[in-house]
Structure 1
Amino acid sequence: MRRVPGLALRRLVVLAVVVVLSGCASGTDSTETAGSTAALSAESAPSVTARLATPAVPGMTAVAVRLRTDVAVGGQFQTRITNTGSEPFSVLAVSLDSPGFERLPFDPQSATYNPGATIDLPTRYGTANCADGVPVDPAFAALQVQRPDGKLEEVRVPLAAPDDIIDRIHAEECNAVALAAAVGVSLGAFTPAVRDGRPVLRAGILLTRGDSDEEIALFELRGSVVFDVSFAEEADPPPAMATDEDELEVPVVLRMTGRGCDAHVLGETKQPFLFPYFVTFDAGDPQYGVLDVSPEQRDALWSYVEVACAEA
């Protein structure tokens, strides 16, 4: 029986895993587990990125880290550059150079590194190369550097990843591609309603069959620190699309969480619209995905916040 490529061999239960690193960078926020509402970890193939011997560039080191803001923005991480030499230099542009990702053009930067300085540079990554056997290492931070005498040069600094950030991003991207090919999962329009005396939003989550021929069940829904997302009616077993069906719409309800109307929570949250879901194929291991929330839906949710919190 056909399994979803790249998914049946692992249970991916979180969008990202990042580890808290000591804050030695200038002007950055602290690291946080991506999809912190899930508070889970991902299983991925062992990394060799950090262990692979690559030629060093005298006077500088590079480490890949991922911050809360990177997860919220999507498509990027931070290249943490440290000047380990005795002369200053400036970085004018940065790009990820890895066989596991499409190489993007240089992103312009403007950062001056005095001896001993450490500064994070936002670094985009391209489309993941998900072909079998394609590694992510050796990974480099490609930099356009200006020396004190004005000389310009391009260097490739070995990109250390002690927390397997690049490997994890690659695994997440490839699993997302495989899942999207197997089944489409989309959030429908909102309808205001009242439940248990409180304002809520009703909607439907539509499952659309892709290249999977298996029974596909919407196994679990999760919300964010602001919004709770749940099935409109409890179902055991979970609602499932039979093998001879191409679509299934599952009614859901969105409401404020217990802390959702707290001004501090609303002001500080980086991912209010991170709505994870889990689907299963023929009752196999739950596979993780995230609902896409359109700009119009986000506006509708903020309007709902005003109504719901006014009555809190």
Structure 2
Amino acid sequence: MVALLAGCGSSEPPAPAPSGPPDGVSVTLGQWRSDEPAHRLQVAVRNTRDTPVYFADVQLVTPSFRTVPASRAGAAIGRTERTDLPIPYGAARCSSGGLPQLRPATVVAHLRVGSEPLREVTFDLPHPDPLLARLLRDECSEYLVRQAVSITFGQEWTESGKVMRGELIVTRRGAGAVKLAAMGGTTHYNVAYDGRSLGALPSAEQRLEIPVELTPARCDGHAFGEAKKAFQFPVRASIDGGEERVIVVAPPKPLQDRLIGFAFRACGFGR
């Protein structure tokens, strides 16, 4: 009977378990400014050996972020202090109960050293990884605020000389009194509004309209050729007197185009 049961099993050999990294090869995580709006990380590879290591694909695996498919690398990396392999990463796993603790993370790669066969390797990242801890905190802080309200740019914006005037619209989505402490500028735009804080949405009210003014923060010729975070406006908000959280608010694409044209004119570049 045992022999029959064994014969009825799959003929496929079990997949080999992931192995440890080759000697002299390690990875860390990084993120450039241009990676942030793309929800992308850099796997920084360090290779202290003379033999090149070929990375076929790379993937971040952690319970704190949704797992996305491995990113093809196709890179043979020789001796190097740092060579970056870009990868996307999934959305943070957040809860309405508060900010979660970061869970351990690994980088999983299919690689080969020299002419050896391709194999799956797991790199354990130091825990807690400071970059992942910050990304988890920022995304889940934003999640908590978005459970109570949506914060958007209004539809009506008026250009007046070197100032663009419009409104920030706060619309209730869930329970709680919301205080909006501040709205910060970006690499390309300054923000001004009346009062020391943006405003407040009492628990019994459904909508708040906040007048704001935008002006160019820089007028050098290369500014808008490098506008990677030009429209990522941080808003600090709290729910029911709790800890302030940061939510990033971006205008829709048509308004972004208008703001670029406005900045060109305000800076004297025409357009």
Place the TM-score, normalised by the shorter chain, in its bin: 0.7 to 0.9
1:228 aligns with 2:190: yes
Query: Separation in 2 of the partners of 1:130 and 1:102?
Result: 10
Query: Separation in 2 of the partners of 1:230 and 1:244?
Result: 27
- The 1:121/1:237 distance shift into structure 2, 3 A limit, reads closer
The question of whether the paired residues in 1 share the 8 Å contact of 2:198 and 2:210 is answered with: no
Query: Separation in 2 of the partners of 1:269 and 1:238?
Result: 25
- The 1:130/1:303 distance shift into structure 2, 3 A limit, reads same
Larger-Rg structure = 2
What is the identity percentage for the equivalent residue pairs of Structure 1 and Structure 2? 26
Q: CA deviation at 1:306?
A: 2.2
**Count of residues in correspondence between the two structures:** 249
Q: Equivalences for 1:200-219 in 2 at 5 Å?
A: 200-214=163-177, 216-219=178-181
Q: CA deviation at 1:76?
A: 1.7
Amino acid at match of 1:68: R
Q: CA deviation at 1:165?
A: 0.8
- The 1:76/1:184 distance shift into structure 2, 3 A limit, reads same
Which position in structure 1 is the counterpart of 2:145?
179
Amino acid at match of 2:202: A
Which position in structure 1 is the counterpart of 2:209?
249
Q: CA deviation at 1:238?
A: 4.5
Q: CA deviation at 1:87?
A: 2.3
With a CA cutoff of 8 Å and minimum separation of 6, indicate the structure with the bigger relative contact order. Answer: 1
Q: Equivalences for 1:34-53 in 2 at 5 Å?
A: none
Q: CA deviation at 1:309?
A: 1.7
> Where do 5+ consecutive residues of structure 1 fail to align?
1-54
Classify the secondary structure of the residue corresponding to 2:125: strand
Which position in structure 2 is the counterpart of 1:281?
239
Comparing 245-254 with 77-86, which one deviates more in the overlay? 77-86
Decide which structure has greater strand share.
2
Query: Separation in 1 of the partners of 2:239 and 2:102?
Result: 28
Classify the secondary structure of the residue corresponding to 2:107: strand
Find the partner of 1:292 among 218, 228, 250.
Answer: 250
Find the partner of 1:87 among 32, 35, 51.
Answer: 51
Q: CA deviation at 1:307?
A: 1.8
Q: CA deviation at 1:190?
A: 4.5
Amino acid at match of 1:94: V
Which position in structure 2 is the counterpart of 1:25?
none
Query: Separation in 1 of the partners of 2:105 and 2:182?
Result: 36
- The 1:97/1:282 distance shift into structure 2, 3 A limit, reads closer
Amino acid at match of 2:251: V
Q: CA deviation at 1:142?
A: 0.8
- The 1:161/1:78 distance shift into structure 2, 3 A limit, reads farther
The question of whether the paired residues in 1 share the 8 Å contact of 2:176 and 2:239 is answered with: no
Deviations 1:37-74 (A, max 9, x none): xxxxxxxxxxxxxxxxxx95223211112221222x33
Which position in structure 2 is the counterpart of 1:64?
29
Query: Separation in 2 of the partners of 1:303 and 1:202?
Result: 14
Q: CA deviation at 1:140?
A: 0.9
Find the partner of 1:168 among 134, 148, 152.
Answer: 134
Find the partner of 1:107 among 71, 85, 92.
Answer: 71
Amino acid at match of 2:70: F
Amino acid at match of 2:35: D
Q: CA deviation at 1:93?
A: 1.1
Find the partner of 2:228 among 250, 270, 284.
Answer: 270
Query: Separation in 1 of the partners of 2:200 and 2:100?
Result: 34
Deviations 1:162-198 (A, max 9, x none): 861112111222212111112111112242332xxx3
Give the TM-score, by structure 1 length.
0.71
Deviations 1:232-271 (A, max 9, x none): xx236652222211111111111223xx212144444532
> Where do 5+ consecutive residues of structure 2 fail to align?
1-18
Query: Separation in 1 of the partners of 2:236 and 2:81?
Result: 43
Q: CA deviation at 1:96?
A: 0.3
